[in-house]
């Protein structure tokens, strides 16, 4: 009979119930609902009174009053058990109970999950424990008194809930399991609006979902089978597929062309993944972004007339004795503070419900606080929110009125529906309104992946951003959180907007992306920067470009000024590595052709004796910011560039490249393993003023312990 | 029954502009809204955003609830409609995300055997189209009777029964041809 099958299915599905709602999300939803409710009633009733009651509800006094005297209105005063026990929920509870006794097999599974959950180093974050006794226990209790008057303790209890301490069943944000929050961030969280809004702490939140479970006694808070533990619970990150650059034969294909790329978002993502105890998907690993994360110490140009220097070093390849690594390092001219053009920044902030997580909106708020601290007094900042309280949060305001800006930042709340509205148009409108001729005009989009900014079609959105770029307003994209990020779209939008995509997961990362690199991110010194390398077949037999798979250009695009490419900001460093195989090396991967393959070599070698000992010829094309016509910088790569004692910068870059390939596609690495990366990087830490390289070392160690398929490198 | 009556009373008060009654209503039902959202979206962040959309909608629509159907039935309908709207809006977005499915498949392959059958089942049901999926979520996950589900979906009870029958057949076929949850 059909019903048997259906029962079977029911049983199966009951084994993966929805996770418990996140307290933060519940509060954001509640807040948004009440806002909408007030708006609706204000229309219907006396507007003055409506406003008044809304204001009342939000005061802190009410929280205290209602905590002392839990139910002011008669009808909600019934004991919670009775309230919750009826109707559909009771039936649901009974069904669940019945199912759980029938599917005892699942019990064993639950135990396994429990063990897994405990093995995670959640308790490494002792900061996050609730300071008071009430919050958590009250939440899980089903006694009438507790539910009605649970002593929620303001901000502390709030935070504890949002972080899901060990007893909580729902997955904590992955990075929180791995390490404690920075103290400063934690402090700021305690003052986040969700803690002081009033509603947040109102003990009326009964969480019927949880009550049902505890009342029926079938789903203990610990060990509940989560729907997609660790791996899939947050599976909305999206990456374009990467096909690794192949080895090319110089006689057949002597020219390599690509666009410069200063993005570093992949590094942030990889780090978060590893910190959360899992290897990143290989498509998430962009080797060039990992390398470019590190500010290498290349010589800077002396004057503004040469916007950047190209520094080249050739060393032996750490993973292949028969080949060499050719490192091209580019460093943009650094502007002194007084040389900086004025900045006109518009922050376009996602305030959808999912942003209400400690590593999103609160982090974003602090990140912008840092950024604002690094701007000049006459620069202007405006803020637009694009969900919920959509609209202009702050009209263009000079940084000299810092307090106004900081207040506006604090007012940002994750709330309201993601109906979007005209967020992005509004942002560009503000940017145009206070446009600075010859200055930096930039919209900075901060989101956890909801690109519902008022234009739903990605293609149309892309066009819009591209159009606006022509008017001189650029776009940067800052990604927050994990699990929801649409990396591919983020990259594409930033690229189309002549901006940068960065993934911000910690305050330290925010400082790096927004403050230390503020000048480079904000003040472009060259646009449409393209690199072309021509290899000399008399010297080099084969080559492959490491990374930059998504930035490849056609050979003819190099001289075509209509074709876009990446921009370089003040002080930016960009690194590209080629693995090159000298003629006559036994490490060649591709054999000679039988017919007439040598001809090219002969001609090239014979063509000019002077050129014959050059390894390659480097050409860089760029445009001045806003310029139409490109300029060319070029230089040969000669035997003089081959280092006798390889410098620490190139060795470290090589280590990062090896690491990226191990995580992504390691087909060219032989038996080079994590230990080799560690050894190589350890010896090349250099000055490491900000500790980036040391942090990299621990990251490699982490990956080594997680990646059981990689060779030991012994 | 008590709860249903209370819901109706609260909804009526909220409809008249009683803020506390409305807040109470949201608090009572957020867990359910989120749960159903999660089942429909199968992803936390999406579910959270949908649940929030529903809460806002609830505020705007509560005045139009006349107490004819049970409040939960009316609420389920609200969630379902919001999910459909969201899915439509998401279809445009989805085009840009083609690469994602493959990554996701990879990840799924790495996952332990636990929950694989349930996962397969959800996956398979989702593949049968939105109508089947909505019906399955209501009847199998939420435990509604055919009549209740029919009220939410605004179709005849016989349609619900028919859909479940069809679903059964389709799943059987799938399990046989594709090897099932293995």
pLDDT digits (tens, 9 = 90+) for A371-407: 777 788 888 999 988 775 557 788 889 888 877 887 7
Q: Shortest CB distance from A456 goes to which of B19, B92, B141?
A: B92
Cβ-count burial A419-442 (b if 16+ within 10 Å, e if not): bbbebbebbbebbeebebeebbbb
- Whether residue B105 has pLDDT greater than 50: no
- Looking at per-residue pLDDT, the higher value among A651 and B166 belongs to A651
Interface check A15 vs B, CB under 8 A:
yes
String of DSSP letters for A153-221: -HHHHHHHHHH--TT--SPPPHHHHHSPPPHHHHHHHHTSHHHHSSGGG-TT---HHHHHHHHHT-S-S
A443, A374, A441, A357: which is closest to A24 by C-alpha? A357
The residue-averaged pLDDT of A495-500 equals 72
- Looking at per-residue pLDDT, the higher value among A712 and A642 belongs to A642
- Distance CA(A204)–CA(B8), nearest Å, equals 18
Asked if A2 and B164 come within 8 Å (Cβ–Cβ), the reply is yes
Q: Which of B12, B16, B30 is best to mutate for the A interface (most A CBs within 10 A)?
A: B30
A148, A389, A217: which is closest to B27 by C-alpha? A148
B residues 28-57 closer than 8 Å to A (CB) = 28-35, 38-39, 42-49, 51-57
| Closest chain A residue to B20, measured at CA | A73
- Whether residue A694 has pLDDT greater than 70: yes
Identify the pLDDT of residue B90.
61
The residue-averaged pLDDT of B75-87 equals 85
The residue-averaged pLDDT of A624-645 equals 89
pLDDT in tens, A669-680: 999 999 999 999
Identify the pLDDT of residue B178.
56
Query: A480 vs A26, A426, A443, B80, CA distance in Å?
Result: 20, 22, 16, 29
Q: What confidence tier does A225 reach under pLDDT thresholds 50, 70, 90?
A: very low
Which residues, 6 or more positions from A108, have their beta carbon under 8 angstroms from its beta carbon? none
- Distance CA(A472)–CA(A647), nearest Å, equals 40
Residue A98 C-alpha, separation from nearest chain B C-alpha, in angstroms: 12
Residue A285 C-alpha, separation from nearest chain B C-alpha, in angstroms: 12
pLDDT in tens, A160-217: 333 333 333 333 333 333 334 334 333 333 333 333 333 333 333 333 333 333 333 3
Interface check A65 vs B, CB under 8 A:
no
Identify the pLDDT of residue A656.
97
Mean pLDDT for all residues in chain A: 69
- DSSP summary character for residue B15: H
Asked if A227 and B115 come within 8 Å (Cβ–Cβ), the reply is yes
Q: Shortest CB distance from B114 goes to which of A2, A18, A112?
A: A112
Asked if B38 and A22 come within 8 Å (Cβ–Cβ), the reply is no
Identify the pLDDT of residue B117.
65
Interface check A233 vs B, CB under 8 A:
yes
Across the A:B interface, residue pairs with CB atoms under 8 Å apart total 277
Written in H, E and C, the secondary structure of A51-77 is HHHHHHHHCHHHHHHHHHCCCCCHHHC
Comparing A78-82, A332-336, A361-365, A697-701, the range with the smallest average pLDDT is: A78-82
Interface check B175 vs A, CB under 8 A:
no
B residues 144-163 closer than 8 Å to A (CB) = none
Interface check A30 vs B, CB under 8 A:
yes
Q: Which chain A residues are closer than 8 Å to B9 by Cβ?
A: 75
Compute the CA torsion angle A516, A517, A522, A528 (nearest 10 deg).
170
- Whether residue A531 has pLDDT greater than 90: yes
- DSSP summary character for residue A486: B
Residue A432 C-alpha, separation from nearest chain B C-alpha, in angstroms: 27
Identify the pLDDT of residue B92.
43
pLDDT in tens, A591-608: 888 776 555 455 544 456
The residue-averaged pLDDT of A452-458 equals 68
| Closest chain A residue to B172, measured at CA | A5
- Whether residue A27 has pLDDT greater than 80: yes
ipTM: 0.72
- Whether residue A220 has pLDDT greater than 60: no
Beta bridge partners of A316: A324
Asked if B30 and A235 come within 8 Å (Cβ–Cβ), the reply is no
Identify the pLDDT of residue B91.
53
Identify the pLDDT of residue A128.
33
Q: Which chain B residues are closer than 8 Å to A486 by Cβ?
A: 96-97
Q: Shortest CB distance from B30 goes to which of A21, A41, A488?
A: A21
- Distance CA(A21)–CA(A28), nearest Å, equals 12
pTM of the model: 0.48
pLDDT in tens, B154-172: 888 888 888 888 888 888 7
Task: Looking at mean pLDDT, say which of A61-75, A83-97, A132-146, B34-48 comes out highest.
Answer: B34-48
Q: What confidence tier does A417 reach under pLDDT thresholds 50, 70, 90?
A: very low
Q: What confidence tier does A275 reach under pLDDT thresholds 50, 70, 90?
A: confident
Asked if B20 and A73 come within 8 Å (Cβ–Cβ), the reply is yes
- Looking at per-residue pLDDT, the higher value among A64 and A299 belongs to A299
Q: What confidence tier does A316 reach under pLDDT thresholds 50, 70, 90?
A: very high
pLDDT in tens, B55-69: 988 998 898 888 888
Q: Which chain B residues are closer than 8 Å to A483 by Cβ?
A: 44-45
Cβ-count burial A636-649 (b if 16+ within 10 Å, e if not): bbbeebbbeebbbb
Query: A89 vs A31, A95, A215, CA distance in Å?
Result: 25, 10, 11
Identify the pLDDT of residue A390.
59
Residues of chain A with pLDDT > 90: what percent? 19
pLDDT in tens, A477-490: 888 876 556 667 77
- Whether residue A584 has pLDDT greater than 70: yes
Interface check B126 vs A, CB under 8 A:
no
- Whether residue A663 has pLDDT greater than 90: yes
Identify the pLDDT of residue A460.
79
Asked if B103 and A237 come within 8 Å (Cβ–Cβ), the reply is yes
- Distance CA(A233)–CA(A236), nearest Å, equals 9
Output Rg (C-alpha) for chain B, integer angstroms. 18
Query: A668 vs A262, A310, A587, A664, A675, CA distance in Å?
Result: 25, 27, 11, 11, 17
- Whether residue A621 has pLDDT greater than 90: yes
A43, A475, A405, A23: which is closest to A205 by C-alpha? A23
pLDDT in tens, A112-125: 333 333 333 333 33
Q: What confidence tier does A256 reach under pLDDT thresholds 50, 70, 90?
A: very high
Interface check A29 vs B, CB under 8 A:
yes
Comparing A210-219, A277-286, A643-652, B36-45, the range with the smallest average pLDDT is: A210-219
Mean pLDDT for all residues in chain B: 77
Tokens of A201: 């702490």
Asked if A33 and B35 come within 8 Å (Cβ–Cβ), the reply is no
Q: Which of B7, B13, B55, B147 is best to mutate for the A interface (most A CBs within 10 A)?
A: B55
């Amino acid at each position: 009979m059909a019903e048997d099958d259906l029962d079977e299915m029911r049983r199966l599905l009951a084994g993966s119930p929805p996770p418990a709602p996140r307290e933060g999300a519940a509060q954001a939803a509640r807040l948004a609902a009440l806002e909408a409710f007030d708006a609706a009633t204000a229309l219907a009733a006396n507007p003055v009174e409506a406003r008044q009651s809304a204001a009342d509800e939000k005061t802190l006094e009410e929280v205290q009053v209602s905590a002392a005297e839990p139910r002011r209105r008669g009808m909600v005063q019934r004991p919670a058990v009775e309230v919750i026990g009826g109707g559909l929920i009771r039936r649901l509870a009974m069904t669940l109970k019945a199912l759980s006794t029938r599917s005892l097999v699942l019990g064993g599974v639950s135990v396994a999950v429990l063990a897994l959950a405990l093995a995670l180093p959640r308790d490494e974050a002792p900061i996050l424990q609730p300071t008071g006794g009430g919050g958590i226990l009250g939440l899980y209790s089903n006694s009438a008194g507790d539910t009605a008057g649970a002593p929620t303790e303001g901000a502390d209890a709030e935070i504890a809930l949002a972080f899901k301490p060990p007893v909580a069943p729902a997955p904590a944000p992955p990075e929180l399991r791995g390490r404690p929050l920075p103290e400063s961030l934690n402090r700021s969280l305690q003052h986040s609006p969700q803690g002081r809004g009033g509603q947040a702490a109102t003990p009326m939140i009964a969480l019927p979902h949880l009550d049902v479970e505890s009342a029926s006694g079938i789903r203990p808070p610990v060990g509940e089978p989560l729907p997609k533990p660790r791996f899939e619970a947050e599976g909305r990150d999206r990456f374009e597929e990467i096909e690794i650059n192949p080895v090319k034969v110089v006689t057949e294909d002597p020219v390599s062309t690509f666009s410069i790329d200063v993005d570093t978002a992949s590094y942030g993502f990889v780090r978060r993944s590893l910190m959360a105890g899992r290897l990143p998907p290989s498509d998430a690993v962009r080797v060039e972004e990992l390398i470019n994360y590190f500010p290498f110490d290349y010589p800077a140009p002396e004057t503004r007339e040469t916007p950047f220097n190209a520094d080249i070093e050739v060393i032996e390849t750490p993973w292949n004795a028969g080949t060499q690594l050719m490192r091209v390092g580019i460093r943009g001219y650094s502007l002194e503070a007084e040389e900086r053009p004025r900045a006109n920044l518009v922050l376009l902030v996602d305030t959808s419900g999912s942003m209400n997580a400690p590593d999103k909106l609160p982090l974003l708020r602090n990140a912008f606080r840092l950024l604002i601290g690094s701007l000049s007094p006459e620069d202007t900042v405006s803020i637009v929110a694009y969900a919920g309280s959509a609209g202009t949060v702050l009209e263009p305001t000079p940084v000299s009125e810092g307090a106004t800006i900081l207040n506006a930042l604090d007012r940002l709340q994750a709330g309201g529906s993601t109906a979007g509205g005209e967020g992005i148009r509004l942002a560009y409108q503000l940017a145009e309104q206070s446009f600075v001729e010859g200055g930096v005009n930039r919209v900075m989009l901060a989101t956890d992946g909801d690109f519902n900014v008022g234009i739903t079609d990605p293609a149309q959105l892309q066009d819009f951003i591209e159009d606006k770029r022509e008017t001189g307003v650029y776009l940067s994209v800052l990604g927050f959180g994990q699990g929801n990020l649409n990396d591919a779209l983020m990259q594409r939008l930033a690229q189309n907007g002549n901006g940068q995509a960065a993934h911000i997961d910690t305050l330290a990362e925010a400082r790096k992306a927004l403050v230390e690199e503020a000048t480079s991110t904000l003040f472009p010194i060259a646009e449409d920067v393209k690199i072309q390398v021509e290899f000399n077949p008399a010297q080099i037999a084969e080559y492959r470009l490491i990374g930059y798979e998504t930035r490849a250009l056609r050979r003819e695009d190099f001289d075509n000024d209509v074709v876009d490419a990446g921009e370089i900001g003040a002080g930016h460093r960009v690194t590209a590595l080629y693995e090159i195989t000298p003629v006559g090396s036994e490490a060649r991967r591709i054999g000679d052709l039988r017919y007439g393959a040598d001809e090219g070599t002969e001609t090239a070698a014979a063509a000019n004796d002077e050129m014959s000992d050059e390894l390659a010829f480097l050409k860089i094309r760029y445009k001045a910011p806003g310029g139409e016509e490109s300029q060319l910088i070029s230089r040969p790569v000669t035997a003089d560039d081959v280092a006798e004692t390889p410098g620490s910068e190139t060795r470290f870059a090589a280590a990062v490249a090896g690491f990226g390939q191990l995580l992504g596609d390691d087909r060219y690495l032989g038996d080079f393993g994590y230990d080799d990366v560690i050894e190589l990087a350890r010896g090349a830490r250099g000055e490491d003023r900000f500790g980036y390289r040391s942090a990299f070392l621990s990251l490699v160690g982490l990956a080594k312990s997680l990646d059981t398929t990689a060779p030991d490198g012994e | 029954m008590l709860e249903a009556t209370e819901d109706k009373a609260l909804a009526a008060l909220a409809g008249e502009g009683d803020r506390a009654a409305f807040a109470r209503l949201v608090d009572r039902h957020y867990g359910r809204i989120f749960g159903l959202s999660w089942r429909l979206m199968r992803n936390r962040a999406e579910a959270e955003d949908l649940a929030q959309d529903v809460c806002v909608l609830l505020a705007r629509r509560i005045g139009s609830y006349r107490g004819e159907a049970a409040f939960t039935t009316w609420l389920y309908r609200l969630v379902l409609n919001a999910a459909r709207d969201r899915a439509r809006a998401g279809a445009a977005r989805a085009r840009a995300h083609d690469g994602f499915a493959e990554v996701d498949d990879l990840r799924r392959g790495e996952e332990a055997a636990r929950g694989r059958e349930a996962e397969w089942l959800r996956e398979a049901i989702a593949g049968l189209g939105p109508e089947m999926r909505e019906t399955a979520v209501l009847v199998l996950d939420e435990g509604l009777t055919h009549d209740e589900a029919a009220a939410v979906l605004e179709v005849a009870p016989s349609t619900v029964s028919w859909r479940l029958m069809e679903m059964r057949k389709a799943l059987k076929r799938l399990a046989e041809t594709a090897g099932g949850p293995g």
